[in-house]
Amino acid sequence: MLHESIKVKDVTIKQSEGFRLRLQKWEVLSPKGTYAVNFINESLDEDGEVWQSSTYNFFMTEQEINDLCKGLKA
């Protein structure tokens, strides 16, 4: 659980029947200019409720995040 003062950007990248991929991003305290990035893979049941979830955490700079986004769009 993150402290309430941390501003987390939470975006759904892809969602289909039975699957959702979300991204969470926030700036870490140190080193400056570094962000924590969570990719959250969620399996959904017939009612659209999450029944299984996996989180992959990375620490990236803004430039690395931009490069990743460009690569995913290509």
Domains of the chain listed by start with CATH number:
9-73 (3.10.450.700)
Mean of pLDDT values over 37-45: 96
CA–CA separation, 45 and 4 (whole Å): 30
Q: Which two tokens stand for residue 25?
A: 């991003």
CA–CA separation, 52 and 45 (whole Å): 9
Q: Is 2 a residue whose pLDDT tops 80? A: no
Q: What is the pLDDT of residues 53-64, one digit of tens each?
A: 999 999 999 999
Where does the pLDDT of residue 41 fall: very low under 50, low under 70, confident under 90, or very high at 90 and above? very high
Where does the pLDDT of residue 5 fall: very low under 50, low under 70, confident under 90, or very high at 90 and above? confident
Average pLDDT, the chain: 92
